Protein backbone atom coordinates (compact mmCIF):
# COMPACT_ATOMS: atom_id res chain seq x y z
CA UNK A 1 0.00 0.00 0.00
CA UNK A 2 1.46 3.42 -0.83
CA UNK A 3 0.19 6.95 -1.00
CA UNK A 4 1.20 10.57 -1.17
CA UNK A 5 -0.26 12.98 1.32
CA UNK A 6 0.34 16.67 1.99
CA UNK A 7 0.12 17.73 5.62
CA UNK A 8 1.08 21.33 5.92
CA UNK A 9 4.88 21.14 5.63
CA UNK A 10 5.11 17.34 6.05
CA UNK A 11 4.83 15.47 2.76
CA UNK A 12 5.46 11.77 2.84
CA UNK A 13 5.13 8.50 1.01
CA UNK A 14 4.30 5.27 2.82
CA UNK A 15 4.41 1.57 2.12
CA UNK A 16 3.03 -1.17 4.37
CA UNK A 17 3.76 -4.87 4.09
CA UNK A 18 2.36 -7.44 6.51
CA UNK A 19 2.14 -11.21 6.02
CA UNK A 20 1.50 -14.05 8.46
CA UNK A 21 4.13 -16.69 9.14
CA UNK A 22 4.53 -19.36 6.47
CA UNK A 23 1.75 -21.92 6.88
CA UNK A 24 -0.69 -19.51 8.54
CA UNK A 25 -3.69 -17.73 7.07
CA UNK A 26 -4.08 -13.96 6.93
CA UNK A 27 -6.57 -14.18 9.82
CA UNK A 28 -3.81 -15.78 11.93
CA UNK A 29 -1.40 -12.87 11.42
CA UNK A 30 -0.72 -11.54 14.93
CA UNK A 31 1.11 -8.44 13.69
CA UNK A 32 -0.68 -5.15 13.17
CA UNK A 33 0.22 -1.93 11.34
CA UNK A 34 -1.64 1.38 11.50
CA UNK A 35 -1.15 4.70 9.73
CA UNK A 36 0.36 6.92 8.68
CA UNK A 37 -2.43 9.17 9.87
CA UNK A 38 -2.52 12.92 10.17
CA UNK A 39 -3.39 14.54 13.49
CA UNK A 40 -3.05 18.31 13.61
CA UNK A 41 0.47 19.04 12.35
CA UNK A 42 1.81 15.56 13.02
CA UNK A 43 1.82 12.17 11.34
CA UNK A 44 1.43 9.02 13.48
CA UNK A 45 2.20 5.43 12.58
CA UNK A 46 2.58 2.25 14.61
CA UNK A 47 3.29 -1.48 14.40
CA UNK A 48 2.50 -4.10 17.04
CA UNK A 49 3.36 -7.78 17.43
CA UNK A 50 1.09 -10.09 19.45
CA UNK A 51 2.77 -12.71 21.62
CA UNK A 52 2.27 -16.20 20.21
CA UNK A 53 1.73 -17.85 23.55
CA UNK A 54 -1.16 -15.56 24.43
CA UNK A 55 -4.65 -15.94 22.99
CA UNK A 56 -6.37 -12.94 21.37
CA UNK A 57 -2.89 -11.57 20.68
CA UNK A 58 -3.71 -10.40 17.14
CA UNK A 59 -6.78 -8.52 18.37
CA UNK A 60 -4.74 -6.82 21.11
CA UNK A 61 -1.99 -5.88 18.65
CA UNK A 62 -4.57 -4.27 16.33
CA UNK A 63 -6.12 -2.29 19.19
CA UNK A 64 -2.70 -0.98 20.30
CA UNK A 65 -1.61 0.05 16.80
CA UNK A 66 -4.92 1.69 15.90
CA UNK A 67 -5.32 3.46 19.23
CA UNK A 68 -1.78 4.78 18.94
CA UNK A 69 -2.51 6.64 15.73
CA UNK A 70 -5.96 7.75 16.93
CA UNK A 71 -5.46 8.80 20.50
CA UNK A 72 -1.84 8.65 21.69
CA UNK A 73 -0.62 12.01 23.05
CA UNK A 74 3.19 12.16 23.34
CA UNK A 75 3.03 14.90 25.96
CA UNK A 76 0.82 12.82 28.29
CA UNK A 77 1.79 9.79 30.42
CA UNK A 78 1.04 6.59 28.49
CA UNK A 79 -0.84 4.91 31.39
CA UNK A 80 -4.15 6.62 30.59
CA UNK A 81 -3.81 5.73 26.93
CA UNK A 82 -3.06 2.10 27.83
CA UNK A 83 -6.10 2.07 30.14
CA UNK A 84 -8.32 3.12 27.24
CA UNK A 85 -6.84 0.34 25.05
CA UNK A 86 -7.56 -2.19 27.80
CA UNK A 87 -11.16 -1.01 28.10
CA UNK A 88 -11.64 -1.53 24.36
CA UNK A 89 -10.16 -5.02 24.59
CA UNK A 90 -12.46 -5.98 27.49
CA UNK A 91 -15.49 -4.58 25.70
CA UNK A 92 -14.62 -6.73 22.64
CA UNK A 93 -14.06 -9.79 24.84
CA UNK A 94 -17.37 -9.41 26.63
CA UNK A 95 -19.35 -8.85 23.45
CA UNK A 96 -19.00 -12.39 22.09
CA UNK A 97 -19.13 -15.03 24.73
CA UNK A 98 -20.44 -18.56 24.38
CA UNK A 99 -19.32 -20.75 27.30
CA UNK A 100 -15.55 -21.19 27.12
CA UNK A 101 -13.74 -24.53 27.34
CA UNK A 102 -11.53 -24.63 30.46
CA UNK A 103 -8.37 -23.62 28.58
CA UNK A 104 -9.96 -20.56 27.02
CA UNK A 105 -11.22 -19.47 30.46
CA UNK A 106 -7.63 -19.65 31.66
CA UNK A 107 -6.32 -17.77 28.61
CA UNK A 108 -8.89 -14.99 29.04
CA UNK A 109 -7.76 -14.59 32.64
CA UNK A 110 -4.08 -14.52 31.57
CA UNK A 111 -4.85 -11.76 29.09
CA UNK A 112 -3.08 -10.90 25.85
CA UNK A 113 0.37 -9.40 25.30
CA UNK A 114 2.07 -7.53 22.49
CA UNK A 115 5.09 -5.40 21.64
CA UNK A 116 4.51 -1.94 20.16
CA UNK A 117 6.52 0.74 18.37
CA UNK A 118 4.96 4.02 17.30
CA UNK A 119 6.22 7.27 15.81
CA UNK A 120 4.97 10.83 15.95
CA UNK A 121 6.44 12.87 13.08
CA UNK A 122 6.33 16.66 13.11
CA UNK A 123 8.17 18.98 10.70
CA UNK A 124 11.90 18.31 11.12
CA UNK A 125 11.59 16.03 14.14
CA UNK A 126 10.25 12.60 15.04
CA UNK A 127 9.70 10.86 18.35
CA UNK A 128 9.62 7.13 18.97
CA UNK A 129 7.55 5.35 21.64
CA UNK A 130 8.01 1.64 22.29
CA UNK A 131 7.58 -1.37 24.52
CA UNK A 132 9.33 -4.59 23.50
CA UNK A 133 11.16 -5.55 20.34
CA UNK A 134 9.30 -3.87 17.50
CA UNK A 135 11.79 -1.48 15.96
CA UNK A 136 12.06 1.94 14.38
CA UNK A 137 14.85 2.30 11.82
CA UNK A 138 15.74 5.80 10.61
CA UNK A 139 17.47 5.95 7.23
CA UNK A 140 18.82 8.77 5.07
CA UNK A 141 17.91 9.48 1.44
CA UNK A 142 20.38 6.80 0.33
CA UNK A 143 18.56 4.24 2.54
CA UNK A 144 21.58 3.92 4.87
CA UNK A 145 20.68 3.35 8.52
CA UNK A 146 21.21 6.40 10.74
CA UNK A 147 19.54 5.13 13.91
CA UNK A 148 17.86 1.90 15.00
CA UNK A 149 15.86 1.85 18.18
CA UNK A 150 15.06 0.46 20.74
CA UNK A 151 17.19 -2.47 19.44
CA UNK A 152 20.22 -1.59 17.37
CA UNK A 153 21.61 -4.89 16.07
CA UNK A 154 20.30 -8.36 15.14
CA UNK A 155 22.13 -9.83 18.16
CA UNK A 156 19.99 -7.74 20.54
CA UNK A 157 16.84 -9.73 19.84
CA UNK A 158 15.83 -12.51 22.23
CA UNK A 159 12.68 -14.38 22.98
CA UNK A 160 11.48 -12.64 26.13
CA UNK A 161 11.04 -8.91 25.55
CA UNK A 162 8.88 -6.65 27.71
CA UNK A 163 5.30 -6.66 26.48
CA UNK A 164 2.17 -4.54 26.93
CA UNK A 165 -0.53 -6.62 28.59
CA UNK A 166 -4.30 -6.33 28.75
CA UNK A 167 -3.82 -6.14 32.50
CA UNK A 168 -1.05 -5.91 35.04
CA UNK A 169 1.51 -3.22 35.75
CA UNK A 170 2.77 -0.91 33.02
CA UNK A 171 6.10 -2.20 31.66
CA UNK A 172 8.99 0.22 31.00
CA UNK A 173 8.00 2.67 28.24
CA UNK A 174 10.88 3.78 25.97
CA UNK A 175 11.06 7.19 24.29
CA UNK A 176 13.47 8.79 21.83
CA UNK A 177 13.56 11.90 19.66
CA UNK A 178 15.61 12.81 16.58
CA UNK A 179 15.64 15.40 13.86
CA UNK A 180 15.07 14.36 10.31
CA UNK A 181 15.83 15.76 6.88
CA UNK A 182 14.43 15.70 3.40
CA UNK A 183 14.51 12.20 1.93
CA UNK A 184 14.89 10.51 5.32
CA UNK A 185 12.65 7.59 6.09
CA UNK A 186 11.39 5.73 9.12
CA UNK A 187 10.74 1.99 8.92
CA UNK A 188 8.65 0.44 11.66
CA UNK A 189 9.08 -3.33 11.80
CA UNK A 190 8.11 -6.28 13.98
CA UNK A 191 10.93 -8.37 15.41
CA UNK A 192 11.84 -10.92 12.70
CA UNK A 193 11.64 -8.29 9.94
CA UNK A 194 13.52 -5.77 12.10
CA UNK A 195 16.39 -8.18 12.79
CA UNK A 196 16.64 -8.88 9.07
CA UNK A 197 16.64 -5.16 8.20
CA UNK A 198 19.40 -4.49 10.72
CA UNK A 199 21.50 -7.32 9.28
CA UNK A 200 20.93 -6.10 5.68
CA UNK A 201 21.69 -2.51 6.59
CA UNK A 202 24.85 -3.18 8.58
CA UNK A 203 27.22 -2.46 5.70
CA UNK A 204 24.97 -1.54 2.79
CA UNK A 205 21.88 0.42 1.83
CA UNK A 206 18.54 -1.20 2.49
CA UNK A 207 16.50 -2.48 -0.47
CA UNK A 208 14.00 -0.16 -2.15
CA UNK A 209 11.07 0.27 0.22
CA UNK A 210 8.36 -0.74 -2.21
CA UNK A 211 10.10 -4.13 -2.59
CA UNK A 212 11.44 -4.53 0.91
CA UNK A 213 8.56 -6.61 2.22
CA UNK A 214 8.68 -9.16 -0.58
CA UNK A 215 12.50 -9.40 -0.17
CA UNK A 216 12.02 -10.15 3.51
CA UNK A 217 9.36 -12.75 2.77
CA UNK A 218 11.55 -14.44 0.15
CA UNK A 219 14.43 -14.64 2.65
CA UNK A 220 12.11 -16.13 5.24
CA UNK A 221 10.57 -18.65 2.88
CA UNK A 222 14.05 -19.75 1.76
CA UNK A 223 14.71 -20.73 5.37
CA UNK A 224 17.28 -17.95 5.93
CA UNK A 225 15.12 -16.23 8.56
CA UNK A 226 12.97 -17.50 11.47
CA UNK A 227 9.43 -18.32 10.36
CA UNK A 228 7.40 -15.49 11.87
CA UNK A 229 4.78 -12.90 10.94
CA UNK A 230 6.47 -10.09 8.99
CA UNK A 231 5.45 -6.43 9.09
CA UNK A 232 7.29 -3.39 7.72
CA UNK A 233 5.72 0.06 7.52
CA UNK A 234 7.84 2.80 5.88
CA UNK A 235 7.29 6.55 5.95
CA UNK A 236 9.54 8.59 3.62
CA UNK A 237 9.90 12.36 3.86
CA UNK A 238 9.24 14.05 0.53
CA UNK A 239 10.04 17.67 1.44
Using the rule CB under 8 A, is 72 a contact of another protein?
Answer: no
Using the rule CB under 8 A, is 55 a contact of another protein?
Answer: yes
Which residue of 2, 73, 76, 106 would you call a contact of another protein, by CB under 8 A?
106
Which residue of 75, 94, 99, 101 would you call a contact of another protein, by CB under 8 A?
101
In the bound state with another protein, the residue whose beta carbon lies nearer, of 51 and 185, is: 51
How far apart CA 2 and CA 210 sit, in angstroms, is: 8
Using the rule CB under 8 A, is 158 a contact of another protein?
Answer: yes
Using the rule CB under 8 A, is 56 a contact of another protein?
Answer: yes
We find the least distance from the C-beta atom of residue 90 to another protein, in angstroms, to be 13
We find the least distance from the C-beta atom of residue 220 to another protein, in angstroms, to be 11
Using the rule CB under 8 A, is 110 a contact of another protein?
Answer: yes
- DSSP label of 88: H
User: Could you tell me which stretch among 77-85, 156-164, 174-182, 214-222 binds another protein (CB under 8 A)?
Assistant: 156-164
In the bound state with another protein, the residue whose beta carbon lies nearer, of 2 and 87, is: 87
- DSSP label of 202: S
E strands in the chain? 2-7, 10-19, 31-39, 42-50, 113-122, 125-131, 135-139, 145-149, 164-165, 174-179, 185-189, 230-237
In the bound state with another protein, the residue whose beta carbon lies nearer, of 155 and 167, is: 167
How far apart CA 91 and CA 234 sit, in angstroms, is: 31
Is residue 223 within 8 Å of residue 31, measured between CB atoms?
no
Distances (CA, A) of 224 to 22, 69, 89, 145: 13, 33, 36, 22
**In 3-state terms, what secondary structure has residue 59?**
helix
Using the rule CB under 8 A, is 23 a contact of another protein?
Answer: yes
* Contacting positions for another protein (CB under 8 A): 23, 51-53, 55-56, 59, 101-107, 109-110, 158-160, 167-168, 226-227
Amino acid sequence: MSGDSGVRSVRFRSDTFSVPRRGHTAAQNEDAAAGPRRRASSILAAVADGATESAFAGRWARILAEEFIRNFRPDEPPEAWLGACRSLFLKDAEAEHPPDPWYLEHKRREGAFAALAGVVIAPGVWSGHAVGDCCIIHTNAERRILHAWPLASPEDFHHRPELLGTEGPMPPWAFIQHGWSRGDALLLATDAAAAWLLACGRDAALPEFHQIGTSAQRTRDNGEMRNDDLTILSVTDLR
